[in-house]
Amino acid sequence: MSAPLLAVRDLKVHFQVRSGGLLFADYVPLKAVDGVSFDLAAGETLGIVGESGCGKSTLGRAVLQLLPVTAGSVAWLGGDLTALDKKELKARRQDMQIIFQDPLASLDPRMTAGDIIAEPVRNFHSGMSGAAIKAGVQEMMAQVGLLPGMVNRYPHEFSGGQCQRIGIARAMILGPKLVVCDEPVSALDVSIRAQVINLLMDLQQAYGLAMLFISHDLSVVRHISHRVMVLYLGRVMEIADRDALFKAARHPYTQALMTAVPIPDPDKERAKPRVAVGVDLPSPLNPPSGCVFRTRCPKATQVCADVVPPLESAGPGHEVACHHWRD
């Protein structure tokens, strides 16, 4: 792996959540992301999986500095993004873009497709001529599989898949080096998902993009990622190369996730064993002591309640945070 484009170290994002109080509000910290570290190289995709409330979307936004970071560092080619002022950060934004889950909600309903795609260009290259912008937009549209003739249409006139292509074009037009994909295919129809996944992979190949691919769908993550990180209540449970993780998951949570994914094959689906986990997701305001997963874990013992498991190496590039991963 080449030198990292992005190096995230011990990143923490805590929100202050109001918890009653009579005259003055009491605040409790919600640790949405709590000490996450990873590297990302150019041309590499890191898949981030976890269930709702695990902090995966917060992590993506914190990396892009769209949310205030509580502690830790996000280094972009060695320079810490959290230390930049507004102006420097704006300049950096050319290199880092985001693609959202809801294709329609991420497009301004009052703007045409062309204006939406051109907006980043207008923000960064205010001197550019109208004709040059138009040419750039048309070329981008062709690349993401939209017909240039659709440039004057409005978002509501497109299907979900086409809207997502507009969102991808907007993210790609400045030629970014990193794209955070926040559940980019979850809201799409099954027959459209594969199209968008292929498009993202083609773009990555063509431009050497680094991608953070956030999803709850393990099948999709396995298909698109080079490395995969599993989050639970804001903490890393396991991180490994794609094949290592899917062949030999070490963490009970990863195992539970994988065996819970339904397989579109009636025989395999009915015969497959499952790692059962507890029903209740603990409140993120009051996470369990020690290992956060212990309340649902089939392997939990006393040590899990007392000691926070550190990330241990379980093979080359494979780290797992569990006291019992060797069992």
| Encoded tokens for 35 | 């000490």
The reply to whether 264 sits near another protein by the rule CB under 8 A is yes
The reply to whether 274 sits near another protein by the rule CB under 8 A is yes
Q: Apex CA 259: angle with CA 253 and CA 262, to 5°?
A: 130
Q: Which of 28, 83, 135, 263 binds another protein (CB under 8 A)?
A: 263
Nearer to another protein, 56 or 318 (CB): 56
| Encoded tokens for 80 | 């810490």
The reply to whether 273 sits near another protein by the rule CB under 8 A is no
- Site size toward another protein, by CB under 8 A: 84
Please choose, out of 30-38, 261-269, 300-308, 313-321, the segment that lies near another protein by the rule CB under 8 A.
261-269
CA quadruple 80, 81, 83, 84: dihedral sign: positive
DSSP string, 94-108: GGEEEE-S-TTTTS-
Distance of closest approach, residue 137 Cβ to another protein, in angstroms? 12
Nearer to another protein, 117 or 236 (CB): 117
The reply to whether 120 sits near another protein by the rule CB under 8 A is yes
Please choose, out of 15-23, 60-68, 285-293, 301-309, the segment that lies near another protein by the rule CB under 8 A.
60-68
β 178-182/210-215 pair status: parallel
Q: Which of 71, 75, 281, 311 binds another protein (CB under 8 A)?
A: 281
User: Cα 296 vs. chain centroid, distance in angstroms?
Assistant: 24
Distance CA 251, CA 205 (A): 31
Distance of closest approach, residue 307 Cβ to another protein, in angstroms? 25
Using CB under 8 A, which residues numbered 129 to 188 contact another protein?
Answer: 147-154, 156-162, 167, 170, 174
Using CB under 8 A, which residues numbered 224 to 253 contact another protein?
Answer: 242-243, 246
Q: Which of 39, 51, 241, 312 binds another protein (CB under 8 A)?
A: 51
The reply to whether 223 sits near another protein by the rule CB under 8 A is yes
Among 270, 264, 288, 279, which Cα is nearest to 51's? 279
Distance CA 122, CA 7 (A): 29
Distance CA 314, CA 162 (A): 42
Residue with token string 């953070």 = 212
